Amino acid sequence: MLTRELIIEGARQNNLKNLNLRLPHNKIIAITGVSGSGKSSLAFDTIFAEGQWRFIESLSTYARLFLEKLDRPDVDSIRNIRSGHRPRTEEPCQRSTFYRRHSH
Ligand SMILES: Nc1ncnc2c1ncn2[C@@H]1O[C@H](COP(=O)(O)OP(=O)(O)OP(=O)(O)O)[C@@H](O)[C@H]1O
Ligand SMILES: [Mg+2]
């Protein structure tokens, strides 16, 4: 059913090459690829960033003063997104996600 899918068109954040994707909700999805291939660019910088952007937009002007806002991702359209919460906050870092997650 279409509304159960997250539909992404023309994702170009960082090195993404105009990705078009349909991703099911309520499933576990693994994004694989070599370091630098764009996994974080898709998961965090595109999908999560858009979810957070829309969530923050729904808040009052006053509440927004206290929140850090991400840049809106470089993407033509994202449909059926649910507002997002990153599982764990980390300082922005150019190093690999694997390195960041396992170096503490
Ligand atoms: N904030 C940014 N500004 C500019 N370029 C970026 C930014 N973040 C990532 N990139 C570039 O985008 C490309 C994809 O990086 P990304 O972090 O999405 O890869 P990844 O697949 O998550 O890698 P890793 O497995 O190392 O976590 C890389 O060339 C990276 O240098
Ligand atoms: Mg990564």
Domain parsing of the chain, residue ranges = 2-97
pLDDT, tens digit, for every residue of 19-64?
999 999 999 999 999 999 999 999 999 999 999 888 888 889 898 8
Tell me, using a 6 A CB cutoff, whether residue 39 lines ligand 1. Answer: yes
Nearest-angstrom CA–CA distance, 33 and 17: 14
Nearest-angstrom CA–CA distance, 87 and 84: 9
Q: Report the topology of domain 2-97.
A: Rossmann fold (3.40.50)
Q: What share of the chain is helix, strand, coil (3-state, %, to 5)?
A: 30, 15, 50
- pTM comes to 0.82
pLDDT the model gives residue 68? 78
On whether the CB atoms of residues 13 and 42 are closer than 8 A, the answer is: yes
Pocket test for ligand 1, best of 37, 41, 45, 93 (most atoms within 8 A of CB): 41
Ligand nearest to the CA of 35: 1
Average pLDDT of the residues of the chain:
84
pLDDT the model gives residue 42? 97
DSSP strand E in 35-101: where?
75-79
On whether the CB atoms of residues 81 and 6 are closer than 8 A, the answer is: yes
Tell me, using a 6 A CB cutoff, whether residue 97 lines ligand 1. Answer: yes
Residue 22's SS3 state is strand
Tell me, using a 6 A CB cutoff, whether residue 13 lines ligand 1. Answer: no
